[in-house]
Copies of this chain bind each other. A is one copy, B any other.
């Protein structure tokens, strides 16, 4: 097992191009070099260039015009938290222009409710680790995150779990599991008394509810998330490319 994971050529090219877009080497709205030119300059095949450009086009960072060229999308740079980031709250806070931080509120062992058991494909009463975390945007609390993980998945001592880590990291470090896909339900909801205090809101204020399920490649449910998202401070905005 090698600790040093060399990045693929495509990943390196992606970072290079993202960097040039970020630092203005490629001016917003302007045309970037053609695929052939990039291929020659960077020294990789045109196919590799194309896989990278396709990825950047999907998230709207660039606009491609057949017979013309590829353009930097000025509009998306400022706005976005795009598709891949919907459930990555720290990333989402950052792209809203705030400095993110995470506070671990509590870590509790308890039994699964019927609904949780259904979502996690376990039996009601099976033991769960329930994590409560609070996400801050520039010192202001904006997202209250509840996550439950079946204890049966956890390989390490439960009390070593660091609540400030990303869910992905928690699953990697303590469960040796990788996330394959995620299903997110978005609801409009009223905040309850218990949660309102932590988010500095009034009970009965309206708020976004994000119910998230994480699954492994074997289609095993890994974690359920029940999150309260203060959309008066943070924008939940998605960018999508057409085709």
Write the residues of chain A forming the contact surface with B, with a CB cutoff of 8 angstroms.
29, 60, 63, 65, 71, 73-76, 79-80, 83-84, 86-87, 178-190, 206-208, 215, 217, 219, 231, 235-242
Contacts and interface: CB of A to CB of B under 8 A. Distances in A.
Nearest to A29: B219
A47 to B, nearest CB: 8
B219 A180 contact: no
Given A75-B219, A188-B206, A206-B206, A84 B238 contact: no
11 contacts: A29-B219, A60-B181, A63-B217, A75-B215, A76-B183, A83-B240, A87-B240, A182-B240, A183-B239, A188-B189, A188-B206
Given A63-B180, A186-B186, 16 more contacts: A75-B215, A83-B83, A83-B238, A83-B240, A178-B242, A181-B239, A182-B240, A183-B237, A184-B237, A184-B238, A184-B240, A185-B237, A186-B231, A186-B238, A188-B189, A188-B231
Contacts of A84: 240
Given A63-B180, A238-B183, A73 B219 contact: yes
For this chain, the copies found in one complex come to: 2
A240 B181 contact: yes
Contact of A237 (B29, B76, B179, B186): B186
B76 A181 contact: yes
A86 B240 contact: yes
